[in-house]
Amino acid sequence: MNIFRIAKVIVVLSSLSYLSVIFLRNYNSPENIQKRCTLKFEKDFKNPLETSREEWDQILDLADNNYLKCMGITQY
Which of the two residues, 39 and 22, has the higher pLDDT score?
A: 22
Give pLDDT, residue 16.
96
d(CA 8, CA 49): 62
Length of the chain: 76
For residue 57, is pLDDT > 90?
Answer: no
Residue-wise pLDDT tens digits, 7-24: 999 999 999 999 999 999
Burial readout 5-44 (b: 16 or more C-beta within 10 A, e: otherwise): eeeeeeeeeeeeeeeeeeeeeeeeeeeeeeeebeeebeee
Is the model's pTM score more than 0.75?
Answer: no
CB atoms < 10 A from the CB of 68, how many?
14
Span 23-52, average pLDDT? 80
> pLDDT class for 48, splitting at 50, 70, 90?
low
